[in-house]
Amino acid sequence: MGGDNAPASVVEGAVLAARGEPIDLILVGDQTAVSAELARHAPASNIRVVHAPTTVGMEESPALVVRRRRDSSIWRATELVAHGDAQAVVSAGHTGASMATAFFLLGTLQGVERPAIATILPTLHGNAVLLDVGATVDSKPQHLVQFAIMGQVYAQRMLSKPSPRVGLLSIGEEDTKGNELTKEAFKLLKQSAVNFIGNVEGRDVYTGDADVIVCDGFIGNVALKISEGLAEAIMQVLRREITQSIGGRVGFLLLRPAFRRFKRRVDYAEYGGAPLLGINGVSIICHGRSSPKAIMNAVRVARDFVVGQVNRHIREDLDRHMAGPVRN
Amino acid sequence: MGGDNAPASVVEGAVLAARGEPIDLILVGDQTAVSAELARHAPASNIRVVHAPTTVGMEESPALVVRRRRDSSIWRATELVAHGDAQAVVSAGHTGASMATAFFLLGTLQGVERPAIATILPTLHGNAVLLDVGATVDSKPQHLVQFAIMGQVYAQRMLSKPSPRVGLLSIGEEDTKGNELTKEAFKLLKQSAVNFIGNVEGRDVYTGDADVIVCDGFIGNVALKISEGLAEAIMQVLRREITQSIGGRVGFLLLRPAFRRFKRRVDYAEYGGAPLLGINGVSIICHGRSSPKAIMNAVRVARDFVVGQVNRHIREDLDRHMAGPVRN
């Protein structure tokens, strides 16, 4: 029921994800609305509907959702995971509600102090993982070290990077640059077994020099949203400039395939949802504006997360980190 | 002597700025090198050279510069301002060294607790001021309020915006969203006489909804650098995609004027340098990669800053803020 174009986009995305794949999907939400959407597509034996009478609104506080909205679609869907009736929950609704419900119903993996949302960024040389992009603000240095370990596992298991390079987002390359948080985290990361390449500046995020970029959730959220806003502004200005002349319009027609390839490369929909790492279960958070394709890819992220046993590997790597000894 | 292409770019920029303008320029640096560069241009009676035997390297620590590099070009140039022999200093060199020297030799304006670097961003609707982009990390809520007041004055005096809308960079529009710093700063800004429009999310920075965007120096620096990196990556990928086909190459030729207009709109060089606000004097910081045009524009920023009496207005507005009473 979540997202700007729900339930239509979500149902269509689920249908696309279920088609021909050995996967069982449960659509949680208003039975009538969801079934009506579902009826618009070819019948799929591996999709069923579970009723949830209410939906969380975008303006509701996550704390209230946990206390009072246990009949909502996000609560019911997460409950299915908590009870072992599903292996993952995917939502394009209220991010705070998804996080709070997952935190409350599933809890954190043993040893994890704070969860982190990991997003995938397209760079000039392959993809990179940026985390945290909004689960934990005002984080402590040791949280960033845990994010680094979780991000490393995610890059290994989901992006097929056997030894990802982990960078710390800061404002200068030297270890003495940064704020109190990053300077302390730098020291801890240096001593850890993480494949730490040092500080990464904002301008190096999109070069692909780091495979995993670690930061506080406030910073990561600003970085992600400003990137979205800038990319949109650039395309808008470019389009405006281009369509100002006939030559431009003809040129634009000739360039359309290039623009399309470009869009596919940077389109968030290609990368699907962002997992909430550190949770004792699988919760995938989608953009509110998710297209059916983005939902389909988010379901695939959920499947790969389960199949790749990301959580087991996170637990093992964290255990190893806690036990020491240290590499460098 | 500072910047990637010094002294050539700096000297050429100074020559461009001095041409036909009622302004006196002093080039501070190695007498021989600077004079040789100067000789490559038509003589200008309003440019003179002051010798400084050494230059600060990019790897030097700002604290060491203050203690040991008093024969360097940045120190000597800032000293001219401190002694009243110049009204502003402009540098494309080591940002930390510029800040430390200005802080040490000029001090802060009365009432200012921390300085802030203000940069101008092109948006979909006019320009906006973003501050702080790197002078003060780990700032306190009251520092952000001072940044808001200084940024407001800057937008009034330098961008001809009589009543600029001031936003706080955060991760949600509601006042309950953000980290500890922004939640506390939100309350203080609400109570202040600043024309405060509330939180601004990363994705709204480039829409032009706010004229002044306030944040901690770590956040602002990450936001600025990630924007630079992303814009560069987008143009690089687009160029790569475009030149892959003959149709694309022809289209690109037709689009060249549009791309050029676009580049001019987003080019940092159009906006010149970024002032270090809160200093008892005028210090303009330029990008290390400044072109002659960027240097010329930075000199103009310095001139407008002096002529517009930005510092007097900052002092007055701060005084008024400290005295209360409060508007809302």
Condensed to tens digits (0 to 9), the pLDDT of residues A262-303 reads 666 666 666 778 999 999 999 999 988 889 999 999 999 999
Report the percentage of chain A scoring pLDDT > 90. 71
8-state DSSP, A22: S
Q: Which residue of A has its CA nearest to B266?
A: A234
The residue with greater pLDDT, B66 or A142, is A142
8 Å CB contact of B221 and A241: no
Nearest-CA distance A127 → chain B (Å) = 13
8 Å CB contact of B251 and A250: yes
Nearest Cα neighbor of B81 from B288, B301, B279, B244 is B279
Report the percentage of chain B scoring pLDDT > 90. 71
Q: Mutating which of A121, A222, A242, A259 best tests the B interface, going by the most B Cβ atoms within 10 A? A: A222
| Residue A327 in this model has a pLDDT that exceeds 60 | no
Task: Show residues of chain A in contact with B170, CB under 8 Å.
Answer: 218
pLDDT in tens, B41-57: 999 999 999 999 999 98
What pLDDT score does B325 carry?
55
What is the residue type of B313? H
Task: Show residues of chain B in contact with A232, CB under 8 Å.
Answer: 203, 206
Task: Show residues of chain B in contact with A180, CB under 8 Å.
Answer: 137-138
8 Å CB contact of A207 and B233: yes
Task: Show residues of chain A in contact with B183, CB under 8 Å.
Answer: none
What pLDDT score does B241 carry?
75
Return mean pLDDT, chain A.
Answer: 91
* B327: confidence class by pLDDT, cuts 50, 70, 90: very low
What pLDDT score does A171 carry?
93
**Mean per-residue pLDDT, A73-99:** 96
Return mean pLDDT, chain B.
Answer: 91
The residue with greater pLDDT, A323 or A41, is A41
8 Å CB contact of B176 and A61: yes
Using DSSP bridges, classify how beta strands A116-123 and A126-131 pair: parallel, antiparallel or unpaired. Answer: antiparallel
8 Å CB contact of B202 and A228: yes
Candidate from A140-154, A201-215, A253-267, A277-291 with smallest mean pLDDT? A253-267
**Mean per-residue pLDDT, B150-165:** 96
Q: Which residue of A has its CA nearest to B236?
A: A124
8 Å CB contact of B223 and A223: yes
* A135: confidence class by pLDDT, cuts 50, 70, 90: very high
∠ at Cα B304 (B300, B306), nearest 5°?
A: 120
Task: Show residues of chain B in contact with A215, CB under 8 Å.
Answer: 222
Q: Which residue of B has its CA nearest to A263?
A: B238
Nearest-CA distance B237 → chain A (Å) = 7
DSSP one-letter string for B165-200: -EEEEESSSSTT-S-HHHHHHHHHHHHSSS-EEEEE
What is the residue type of B174? E
8 Å CB contact of B252 and A253: no
Nearest Cα neighbor of A266 from A222, A213, A228, A212 is A228
- Shortest CB distance from B251 goes to which of A229, A244, A251? A251
**Mean per-residue pLDDT, A13-37:** 95
**Mean per-residue pLDDT, A226-239:** 85
Count the Cβ atoms, other than its own, within 10 Å of residue B48. Answer: 12
| Residue A63 in this model has a pLDDT that exceeds 90 | no
Environment class of residue B198 by beta-carbon count within 10 Å: exposed (0-12), middle (13-18) or buried (19+)? middle
Distances (CA, A) of A68 to A30, A89, A104, A262: 18, 20, 13, 44
**Mean per-residue pLDDT, A130-142:** 96
Q: Which residue of B has its CA nearest to A203?
A: B229
Give the Cα separation of A227 and A231 in Å (integer): 6
Candidate from A83-92, B59-68, B99-108 with smallest mean pLDDT? B59-68
Give the Cα separation of B88 and B23 in Å (integer): 12
Task: Show residues of chain A in contact with B168, CB under 8 Å.
Answer: none
What pLDDT score does A217 carry?
97
8 Å CB contact of B202 and A236: no
**Mean per-residue pLDDT, B281-291:** 92
What pLDDT score does B194 carry?
96
Task: Show residues of chain B in contact with A204, CB under 8 Å.
Answer: 229
8 Å CB contact of A202 and B228: yes
The residue with greater pLDDT, A68 or A252, is A68
Non-local (6+) Cβ contacts of B169 within 8 A are A222, B130, B182, B199, B200, B201, B202, B205, B213, B214, B215, B219, B220, B223
8 Å CB contact of B251 and A255: yes
Count the Cβ atoms, other than its own, within 10 Å of residue B127. Answer: 16
Residues A287 and A268 sit within 8 Å (Cβ to Cβ): yes
8 Å CB contact of B241 and A262: yes
**Mean per-residue pLDDT, B120-141:** 94
Q: Mutating which of B228, B238, B265 best tests the A interface, going by the most A Cβ atoms within 10 A? A: B238
Q: Please compute, for residue A321, the number of CA atoms within 13 A of its CA located in the half-sphere on the CB side.
A: 27
**Mean per-residue pLDDT, A97-119:** 96
Q: Which residue of B has its CA nearest to A261?
A: B241
Residues B273 and B285 sit within 8 Å (Cβ to Cβ): yes
8 Å CB contact of A226 and B205: yes
Count the Cβ atoms, other than its own, within 10 Å of residue A207. Answer: 17
In chain A the first and final C-alpha atoms are separated, in Å, by 49
Candidate from A35-44, A113-122, A269-278 with smallest mean pLDDT? A269-278
The residue with greater pLDDT, A29 or B58, is A29
Nearest-CA distance A276 → chain B (Å) = 17
8 Å CB contact of B257 and A247: yes
Task: Show residues of chain A in contact with B124, CB under 8 Å.
Answer: 233, 236-237
8 Å CB contact of A229 and B134: no
| Residue A255 in this model has a pLDDT that exceeds 80 | no
Give the Cα separation of B281 and B279 in Å (integer): 5
Give the Cα separation of A148 and A199 in Å (integer): 13
What pLDDT score does A234 carry?
84
Nearest-CA distance A214 → chain B (Å) = 13
| Residue B161 in this model has a pLDDT that exceeds 90 | yes
Domains of chain B: 8-112+270-306 (3.40.718.10), 116-269+314-323 (3.40.718.10)
8 Å CB contact of A228 and B138: no
Task: Show residues of chain B in contact with A137, CB under 8 Å.
Answer: 171, 178-180
8 Å CB contact of B179 and A218: yes
pLDDT in tens, B185-223: 999 999 999 999 999 999 899 999 999 999 999 999 999
- Shortest CB distance from B229 goes to which of A170, A202, A253? A202
**Mean per-residue pLDDT, A15-35:** 95
Give the Cα separation of B303 and B270 in Å (integer): 15
What pLDDT score does B268 carry?
63
- Shortest CB distance from A222 goes to which of B171, B242, B250? B171
- Shortest CB distance from A202 goes to which of B170, B222, B252? B222
What pLDDT score does A328 carry?
42
- Shortest CB distance from B206 goes to which of A233, A244, A248? A233
Q: Which residue of A has its CA nearest to B229?
A: A203
What pLDDT score does B59 carry?
85
Task: Show residues of chain B in contact with A61, CB under 8 Å.
Answer: 176
8 Å CB contact of B232 and A123: no
8 Å CB contact of B171 and A262: no
Nearest Cα neighbor of A101 from A68, A134, A147 is A68
The residue with greater pLDDT, B52 or A58, is B52
Residue A126: helix, strand or coil by DSSP?
A: strand
